Structure 1
Amino acid sequence: MTVTQPPFRPAGRAATAVERASTALGRLRRGRLLHPAGRSFVGETVIWGTPGPPTGVALLDQPGQYRTTIRLSKGTPTPGSWPDVLGLALRLHSDGGRPFDLLVSSSGAAPVLRNLPLPRRRFTGTYSTITFYRAGRRRLWLAALADPDSADLGRSLAAASAATRTDTPRLVLAVASAVGTWRLVGQVILGAQLSAEEDSALAFDPVRNLPPELRVAGPLAWLRDQTYRGSRRARGATAQSGGSTATTV
């Protein structure tokens, strides 16, 4: 898989300033700057293929099965089951190539609301990429939606962990245009929880760890890139740190 370069070239001084500030804040926090409280799991992603017109992204359009590392998190984080902007991070591992890191936040499913991070209590619900991707000339939003036939993930990280010990919770992957309805393309299955050490070592790069046909876009793309760079640097992590090699569900 080829290395995808970001499509933006912000002013060097601004980018450096954001990265340095993120590094400093991460060191003060002594951990992740973004979504510090979370639980990670082994899992599996099954892609069914895109119904209707193809997206132009082979990973979404063609059926496949991928070993996946999954992280559920709270953004602030608020204690227990208090409302928060919830996060879902997926790392789809490919044989011999770069992974696909998909990071989505709790949001609404409607066209306007899929662009806004929204606090909520339950880990079962809609997660959207908030900002959009470009695949050629197409603008795409990706999401993880609730599976009505799945076990509930509950209102806290502890409840989500408990759900994976007694069942195999699932979420549905979907893709949409700016105003279109969600088209279901696959399923994410959560398996066994990883250790706290494995969760701490895991780091994502939602800008560069992408399929070759996909690139991040939108006004906040460069800010996200520099913030994640700084957070990883503060922890001594790389863009591909962590990720379980354990057997999936």
Structure 2
Amino acid sequence: MTVTPPPSRAATAVERASTALGRLRRGRLLHPAGRSFVGETVIWGTPGPPTGVALLDHPGRYRTTVRLSKGTPTPGSWPDVLGLALRLHGDDGRPFDLLVSSSGAAPVLRNLPLPRRRFTGTYSTITYYRSGRRRLWLAALADPESVDLGRSLATVAAAARTDAPRLVLAVASAVGAWRLVGQVSFGAPLGAEEDAALAFDPVRNLPPELRVAGPLAWLRDQTYRGSRRARGATAQSGGSTATTV
């Protein structure tokens, strides 16, 4: 993981502000309203040219913690920037945290967070990654054969109780089409205490070949640091130890 650091005073100021806001909110600073579930990720492998990331390029199966959330949050089914967080638990004990937000599927929209009403849709990384010299965007796309997730966290939970909702994982370059690399399914909910304890680090919890890049990478790093500090959480806090769906 490599993040180009800003001037140290700016980084410290952002982290301290995030910590203060998190303590004022008494919970998560980012995406406070959400539901977490036990899940499983199946990687099929990357079609076409490899990405250089072994976890994406080679078939595998990973126990996964899934969290769907609202960003602001707005009431009920009002439009909001929706979030999807995945923690893939590797055999080596090292997690891969992938955080994606509701966005458009087209290249010009894939790095813009876009409010929407429904939880079924496209979620993509706002900042891009680098693998060697390659620039990569990751996404979770709607599976047309999966149950609809509806417009609220309550309907998401109901869908998970009656079925095993699925999302399709994909990778793309800045202007290329999405290439499908795997599938995420989820079902059994985690309790409120488990959800509250869960903390993600989308900058440091990455496969060794992947690093966060882009002008907002350092800001995201410091913001998540401050939010975790306010909650007394660590970069690897929480995550389901239950069996997969």
TM surpasses 0.5: yes
Aligned in 2, Cα 1:43/1:3: closer, same or farther, shift over 3 Å? Answer: farther
Does the CA-based 8 Å contact 1:2-1:212 persist in structure 2? no
Q: The residue matched to 2:34 in structure 1 has which SS?
A: strand
Does the CA-based 8 Å contact 2:147-2:163 persist in structure 1? yes
Q: The residue matched to 1:114 in structure 2 has which SS?
A: coil
Does the CA-based 8 Å contact 2:2-2:212 persist in structure 1? no
Equivalent residue, structure 2, for 1:3: 3
Deviations 1:34-67 (A, max 9, x none): 0000000000000000000000000000000000
Deviations 1:49-103 (A, max 9, x none): 0000000000000000000000000000001100000000000001233100000
Equivalent pairs, count: 245
Separation of aligned partners in 1, 2:4 and 2:61: 22
Separation of aligned partners in 2, 1:91 and 1:6: 27
Q: What's the Cα RMSD here?
A: 2.1
Q: The residue matched to 2:144 in structure 1 has which SS?
A: coil
Q: State which of 64, 89, 109 in structure 2 corresponds to 1:113.
A: 109
Separation of aligned partners in 1, 2:149 and 2:120: 5
Does the CA-based 8 Å contact 1:46-1:64 persist in structure 2? yes
Q: List gaps (5 residues or longer) in structure 2.
A: none
Does the CA-based 8 Å contact 2:3-2:217 persist in structure 1? no
Q: The residue matched to 2:186 in structure 1 has which SS?
A: strand
Equivalent residue, structure 1, for 2:240: 244
Aligned in 2, Cα 1:47/1:198: closer, same or farther, shift over 3 Å? Answer: same
Does the CA-based 8 Å contact 1:123-1:154 persist in structure 2? yes
Separation of aligned partners in 1, 2:2 and 2:216: 24
Equivalent residue, structure 1, for 2:65: 69
Q: The residue matched to 1:230 in structure 2 has which SS?
A: helix
Does the CA-based 8 Å contact 1:37-1:75 persist in structure 2? yes
Q: Which runs of 4+ in 1 moved over 6 A?
A: 1-7
Aligned-residue identity in percent: 91
Q: The residue matched to 1:197 in structure 2 has which SS?
A: helix
**TM-score normalised to structure 1 length:** 0.96
Separation of aligned partners in 2, 1:107 and 1:194: 26
Q: List gaps (5 residues or longer) in structure 1.
A: none
Does the CA-based 8 Å contact 2:70-2:81 persist in structure 1? yes
**TM-score normalised to structure 2 length:** 0.97
Q: State which of 31, 34, 40 in structure 2 corresponds to 1:35.
A: 31
Does the CA-based 8 Å contact 1:4-1:209 persist in structure 2? no
Deviations 1:148-196 (A, max 9, x none): 0000011000000000000010000000000000000000001101000
Aligned in 2, Cα 1:17/1:3: closer, same or farther, shift over 3 Å? Answer: closer
Q: The residue matched to 2:126 in structure 1 has which SS?
A: coil
Q: State which of 5, 9, 18 in structure 2 corresponds to 1:22.
A: 18
Deviations 1:129-156 (A, max 9, x none): 0110000000000000000000001100
Separation of aligned partners in 1, 2:6 and 2:123: 23
Separation of aligned partners in 2, 1:27 and 1:154: 32
Separation of aligned partners in 2, 1:146 and 1:95: 27
Question: Alpha-carbon deviation of 1:3?
Answer: 13
Does the CA-based 8 Å contact 1:42-1:69 persist in structure 2? yes
Aligned in 2, Cα 1:3/1:83: closer, same or farther, shift over 3 Å? Answer: closer
